[in-house]
Amino acid sequence: MAKRKFKPAPAARPAARGERTPPDWVSLGLAGLGLLITGYLSIVALSSSAPAFCAAGSDCDLVQQSRYAIFLGLPVAIWGFLTYALISLVIGLTRSRVKRWSRAFALAVIGLMVSLYLTAVGWFQLQALCLWCLTSLGVIASLTGWLAMTRPDSAPATPGPRYAANLVALCIAVLGLLLVDHGGLLSPRPDARLQALARHLDESGAKFYGASWCPNCQDQKDLFGGAAGDLPYIECSPNGRQGGFAIECVEAGIEGFPTWEIRGRRYVEVLQPEELAQRSAFDWKGFEEKATAD
Protein backbone atom coordinates (compact mmCIF):
# COMPACT_ATOMS: atom_id res chain seq x y z
CA MET A 1 0.00 0.00 0.00
CA ALA A 2 1.53 3.32 -1.09
CA LYS A 3 2.31 5.89 1.60
CA ARG A 4 0.31 9.09 1.55
CA LYS A 5 2.30 12.21 0.92
CA PHE A 6 1.42 15.16 3.15
CA LYS A 7 1.90 18.59 1.64
CA PRO A 8 2.75 21.46 3.97
CA ALA A 9 0.10 24.10 4.39
CA PRO A 10 0.64 27.06 2.09
CA ALA A 11 2.25 30.09 3.70
CA ALA A 12 0.08 33.08 4.40
CA ARG A 13 -0.07 35.35 1.42
CA PRO A 14 1.51 38.72 2.13
CA ALA A 15 -0.67 41.70 1.56
CA ALA A 16 -0.33 43.07 -1.92
CA ARG A 17 1.01 46.57 -2.38
CA GLY A 18 -1.75 49.06 -1.66
CA GLU A 19 -3.99 46.39 -0.11
CA ARG A 20 -5.58 47.46 3.16
CA THR A 21 -4.61 45.32 6.17
CA PRO A 22 -7.06 44.78 9.04
CA PRO A 23 -6.84 47.51 11.70
CA ASP A 24 -5.42 46.84 15.15
CA TRP A 25 -8.66 46.68 17.11
CA VAL A 26 -6.96 46.79 20.52
CA SER A 27 -5.12 49.99 19.64
CA LEU A 28 -8.26 51.43 18.10
CA GLY A 29 -10.23 50.59 21.24
CA LEU A 30 -7.67 52.23 23.54
CA ALA A 31 -7.58 55.33 21.34
CA GLY A 32 -11.38 55.42 21.41
CA LEU A 33 -11.33 55.26 25.21
CA GLY A 34 -8.88 58.15 25.25
CA LEU A 35 -11.21 60.09 22.96
CA LEU A 36 -14.10 59.61 25.39
CA ILE A 37 -12.07 60.80 28.39
CA THR A 38 -10.46 63.83 26.75
CA GLY A 39 -13.67 64.68 24.89
CA TYR A 40 -15.57 64.83 28.17
CA LEU A 41 -12.83 66.93 29.81
CA SER A 42 -12.79 69.27 26.78
CA ILE A 43 -16.54 69.89 27.05
CA VAL A 44 -16.20 70.51 30.79
CA ALA A 45 -13.29 72.92 30.30
CA LEU A 46 -15.04 74.89 27.55
CA SER A 47 -18.20 75.17 29.66
CA SER A 48 -16.15 76.38 32.69
CA SER A 49 -17.64 73.68 34.90
CA ALA A 50 -16.00 71.03 37.08
CA PRO A 51 -15.60 67.38 36.03
CA ALA A 52 -17.35 64.64 37.98
CA PHE A 53 -15.58 63.56 41.19
CA CYS A 54 -13.76 66.93 41.18
CA ALA A 55 -14.98 68.81 44.26
CA ALA A 56 -13.97 72.42 44.84
CA GLY A 57 -10.57 72.63 46.50
CA SER A 58 -9.69 69.01 45.71
CA ASP A 59 -6.49 67.89 44.01
CA CYS A 60 -8.41 67.47 40.78
CA ASP A 61 -9.85 70.99 41.01
CA LEU A 62 -6.41 72.51 41.66
CA VAL A 63 -4.94 70.79 38.61
CA GLN A 64 -7.87 71.63 36.33
CA GLN A 65 -7.83 75.30 37.39
CA SER A 66 -4.07 75.74 37.22
CA ARG A 67 -2.14 77.42 34.40
CA TYR A 68 -0.77 73.99 33.47
CA ALA A 69 -4.22 72.97 32.24
CA ILE A 70 -3.86 75.46 29.36
CA PHE A 71 -1.49 75.18 26.41
CA LEU A 72 -1.25 77.82 23.68
CA GLY A 73 -4.55 79.30 24.82
CA LEU A 74 -6.51 76.02 24.68
CA PRO A 75 -7.35 73.52 27.43
CA VAL A 76 -4.85 70.65 27.51
CA ALA A 77 -7.80 68.25 27.22
CA ILE A 78 -8.49 69.52 23.69
CA TRP A 79 -4.90 68.79 22.67
CA GLY A 80 -5.28 65.32 24.15
CA PHE A 81 -8.50 64.79 22.21
CA LEU A 82 -6.80 65.85 18.97
CA THR A 83 -3.91 63.46 19.68
CA TYR A 84 -6.22 60.49 20.24
CA ALA A 85 -8.26 61.46 17.17
CA LEU A 86 -5.13 61.54 15.01
CA ILE A 87 -4.02 58.16 16.36
CA SER A 88 -7.46 56.71 15.58
CA LEU A 89 -7.34 58.04 12.03
CA VAL A 90 -3.85 56.64 11.49
CA ILE A 91 -4.85 53.21 12.81
CA GLY A 92 -8.13 53.12 10.91
CA LEU A 93 -7.12 54.60 7.55
CA THR A 94 -3.43 53.84 6.89
CA ARG A 95 -3.14 50.92 4.46
CA SER A 96 0.41 49.83 5.17
CA ARG A 97 0.80 48.01 8.47
CA VAL A 98 4.36 49.25 8.90
CA LYS A 99 3.48 52.90 8.23
CA ARG A 100 0.45 52.56 10.47
CA TRP A 101 2.55 51.25 13.34
CA SER A 102 5.36 53.79 12.88
CA ARG A 103 3.01 56.78 12.86
CA ALA A 104 0.73 55.54 15.65
CA PHE A 105 3.68 54.61 17.87
CA ALA A 106 5.32 58.03 17.37
CA LEU A 107 2.08 59.84 18.28
CA ALA A 108 1.54 57.60 21.29
CA VAL A 109 5.06 58.19 22.60
CA ILE A 110 4.67 61.97 22.25
CA GLY A 111 1.32 61.79 24.02
CA LEU A 112 2.85 59.68 26.79
CA MET A 113 5.74 62.12 27.30
CA VAL A 114 3.34 65.07 27.54
CA SER A 115 1.09 63.20 29.96
CA LEU A 116 4.06 62.26 32.16
CA TYR A 117 5.28 65.87 32.09
CA LEU A 118 1.87 67.22 33.16
CA THR A 119 1.58 64.61 35.91
CA ALA A 120 5.06 65.51 37.20
CA VAL A 121 4.26 69.24 37.11
CA GLY A 122 1.03 68.65 39.01
CA TRP A 123 2.84 66.69 41.69
CA PHE A 124 5.98 68.80 42.12
CA GLN A 125 4.46 72.26 41.53
CA LEU A 126 0.97 71.82 42.97
CA GLN A 127 1.37 68.73 45.18
CA ALA A 128 -1.81 67.48 43.55
CA LEU A 129 -2.81 64.60 41.29
CA CYS A 130 -5.93 64.57 39.14
CA LEU A 131 -7.87 61.31 38.85
CA TRP A 132 -8.96 62.11 35.30
CA CYS A 133 -5.39 62.96 34.29
CA LEU A 134 -4.08 59.72 35.80
CA THR A 135 -6.77 57.78 33.93
CA SER A 136 -5.75 59.37 30.64
CA LEU A 137 -2.10 58.66 31.49
CA GLY A 138 -3.00 55.00 32.04
CA VAL A 139 -4.76 54.83 28.66
CA ILE A 140 -1.92 56.40 26.66
CA ALA A 141 0.66 54.28 28.54
CA SER A 142 -1.33 51.12 27.73
CA LEU A 143 -1.62 52.13 24.09
CA THR A 144 2.11 52.84 23.85
CA GLY A 145 2.97 49.54 25.53
CA TRP A 146 0.64 47.57 23.27
CA LEU A 147 2.08 49.14 20.14
CA ALA A 148 5.61 48.42 21.37
CA MET A 149 4.72 44.74 21.86
CA THR A 150 2.99 44.38 18.50
CA ARG A 151 5.64 45.98 16.31
CA PRO A 152 5.62 44.41 12.83
CA ASP A 153 8.76 42.45 11.94
CA SER A 154 9.44 44.76 9.02
CA ALA A 155 9.01 47.94 11.07
CA PRO A 156 12.06 49.97 12.13
CA ALA A 157 14.07 47.66 14.35
CA THR A 158 14.74 48.64 17.95
CA PRO A 159 13.51 51.17 16.40
CA GLY A 160 16.13 52.24 13.90
CA PRO A 161 18.52 55.16 14.56
CA ARG A 162 16.85 57.57 12.16
CA TYR A 163 13.34 56.78 13.38
CA ALA A 164 14.47 57.05 17.02
CA ALA A 165 16.29 60.34 16.40
CA ASN A 166 13.24 61.90 14.73
CA LEU A 167 10.99 60.69 17.55
CA VAL A 168 13.30 62.07 20.25
CA ALA A 169 13.52 65.39 18.40
CA LEU A 170 9.72 65.62 18.21
CA CYS A 171 9.34 64.84 21.92
CA ILE A 172 11.94 67.47 22.84
CA ALA A 173 10.26 70.05 20.60
CA VAL A 174 6.81 69.45 22.10
CA LEU A 175 8.05 69.41 25.70
CA GLY A 176 10.15 72.50 25.04
CA LEU A 177 7.11 74.34 23.70
CA LEU A 178 5.16 73.32 26.81
CA LEU A 179 7.91 74.65 29.08
CA VAL A 180 8.13 77.92 27.16
CA ASP A 181 4.36 78.42 27.18
CA HIS A 182 3.93 77.56 30.87
CA GLY A 183 6.87 79.81 31.71
CA GLY A 184 5.01 82.75 30.18
CA LEU A 185 7.62 83.38 27.50
CA LEU A 186 4.95 83.31 24.78
CA SER A 187 2.80 85.91 26.53
CA PRO A 188 2.15 89.13 24.60
CA ARG A 189 3.97 92.33 25.56
CA PRO A 190 2.55 93.85 28.75
CA ASP A 191 -0.14 96.48 28.46
CA ALA A 192 1.39 99.87 29.36
CA ARG A 193 -1.47 100.87 31.67
CA LEU A 194 -1.48 97.52 33.50
CA GLN A 195 2.28 97.70 33.89
CA ALA A 196 2.04 101.22 35.28
CA LEU A 197 -0.67 100.08 37.73
CA ALA A 198 1.41 97.09 38.86
CA ARG A 199 4.43 99.33 39.50
CA HIS A 200 2.24 101.88 41.29
CA LEU A 201 0.92 99.14 43.60
CA ASP A 202 4.47 98.10 44.40
CA GLU A 203 5.71 101.66 44.98
CA SER A 204 2.68 102.56 47.15
CA GLY A 205 3.38 99.70 49.56
CA ALA A 206 0.52 97.43 48.52
CA LYS A 207 1.01 93.68 48.98
CA PHE A 208 -0.41 90.73 47.08
CA TYR A 209 -0.23 87.49 49.08
CA GLY A 210 -0.73 84.26 47.16
CA ALA A 211 0.37 80.67 46.61
CA SER A 212 1.73 78.90 43.54
CA TRP A 213 -0.99 76.24 43.72
CA CYS A 214 -3.88 78.72 44.14
CA PRO A 215 -6.09 78.94 41.01
CA ASN A 216 -7.55 82.32 42.06
CA CYS A 217 -4.04 83.71 42.49
CA GLN A 218 -3.24 82.65 38.94
CA ASP A 219 -6.48 84.28 37.76
CA GLN A 220 -5.39 87.49 39.49
CA LYS A 221 -2.02 87.41 37.72
CA ASP A 222 -3.67 86.61 34.39
CA LEU A 223 -5.62 89.88 34.61
CA PHE A 224 -2.27 91.67 34.31
CA GLY A 225 -0.88 89.48 31.53
CA GLY A 226 2.77 90.23 30.88
CA ALA A 227 2.76 92.89 33.62
CA ALA A 228 2.15 90.31 36.37
CA GLY A 229 5.88 90.20 37.11
CA ASP A 230 5.70 93.82 38.35
CA LEU A 231 3.03 93.09 40.97
CA PRO A 232 4.08 93.24 44.66
CA TYR A 233 3.55 89.49 44.94
CA ILE A 234 4.51 87.54 48.06
CA GLU A 235 4.64 83.72 47.80
CA CYS A 236 3.16 82.25 50.98
CA SER A 237 3.72 78.61 50.10
CA PRO A 238 7.28 78.35 48.74
CA ASN A 239 7.49 74.63 49.53
CA GLY A 240 4.19 73.67 47.90
CA ARG A 241 0.73 72.97 49.22
CA GLN A 242 1.98 70.48 51.82
CA GLY A 243 4.81 72.73 53.01
CA GLY A 244 4.75 75.41 55.68
CA PHE A 245 3.79 79.07 55.28
CA ALA A 246 6.37 81.75 54.64
CA ILE A 247 7.20 83.70 57.82
CA GLU A 248 6.02 86.97 56.28
CA CYS A 249 2.59 85.46 55.60
CA VAL A 250 2.35 83.96 59.09
CA GLU A 251 3.20 87.30 60.69
CA ALA A 252 0.61 89.02 58.48
CA GLY A 253 -2.04 86.49 59.53
CA ILE A 254 -2.89 85.47 55.99
CA GLU A 255 -5.72 82.90 55.92
CA GLY A 256 -6.96 82.93 52.33
CA PHE A 257 -5.74 83.56 48.79
CA PRO A 258 -5.40 85.89 47.10
CA THR A 259 -5.10 88.53 49.86
CA TRP A 260 -4.46 92.18 49.02
CA GLU A 261 -3.28 94.79 51.50
CA ILE A 262 -3.84 98.28 50.08
CA ARG A 263 -3.63 101.51 52.10
CA GLY A 264 -4.29 99.77 55.40
CA ARG A 265 -7.24 97.68 54.19
CA ARG A 266 -7.35 93.98 53.38
CA TYR A 267 -9.24 92.27 50.53
CA VAL A 268 -9.42 88.48 50.24
CA GLU A 269 -10.61 88.14 46.65
CA VAL A 270 -9.63 88.56 43.02
CA LEU A 271 -9.72 92.27 42.22
CA GLN A 272 -10.15 93.72 38.76
CA PRO A 273 -7.48 96.21 37.63
CA GLU A 274 -10.02 99.07 37.79
CA GLU A 275 -10.79 98.19 41.43
CA LEU A 276 -7.11 98.01 42.29
CA ALA A 277 -6.57 101.39 40.66
CA GLN A 278 -9.42 102.96 42.61
CA ARG A 279 -8.34 101.53 45.97
CA SER A 280 -4.69 102.44 45.48
CA ALA A 281 -5.39 105.97 44.13
CA PHE A 282 -4.03 105.26 40.64
CA ASP A 283 -5.32 107.58 37.90
CA TRP A 284 -6.77 104.83 35.68
CA LYS A 285 -8.83 107.09 33.39
CA GLY A 286 -6.18 109.79 33.28
CA PHE A 287 -3.56 107.30 32.14
CA GLU A 288 -5.92 106.10 29.39
CA GLU A 289 -6.56 109.66 28.20
CA LYS A 290 -2.84 110.45 28.25
CA ALA A 291 -2.06 107.29 26.25
CA THR A 292 -4.78 108.20 23.72
CA ALA A 293 -3.41 111.72 23.34
CA ASP A 294 0.10 110.41 22.80
Domains of the chain, first to last? 25-182 (1.20.1440.130), 192-293 (3.40.30.10)
**pLDDT, tens digit, 9 for 90 and up, residues 251-288:** 999 988 999 999 999 999 999 999 999 999 998 887 76
Q: Is 69 in contact with 63 (CB distance < 8 Å)?
A: yes
Q: Lowest-pLDDT range, 14-23, 94-103, 278-287? A: 14-23
State the pLDDT at residue 204.
93
Label residue 9 left, alpha or beta by phi (over 0 means left) and psi (-120 to 50 means alpha). beta
State the pLDDT at residue 98.
84
Q: Lowest-pLDDT range, 41-55, 131-145, 196-210, 262-276? A: 41-55
Confidence band, pLDDT 50/70/90 cuts, at residue 18: very low
pTM above 0.85, yes or no: no
**pLDDT, tens digit, 9 for 90 and up, residues 37-68:** 999 999 988 887 778 888 766 777 778 777 78
Segment 67-79 mean pLDDT: 86
Return the DSSP state at 212.
T
CA pair distance 137, 83, nearest whole angstrom: 13
φ, ψ dihedrals at 262, nearest 5°? -135, 115
Nearest Cα neighbor of 42 from 31, 51, 33 is: 51
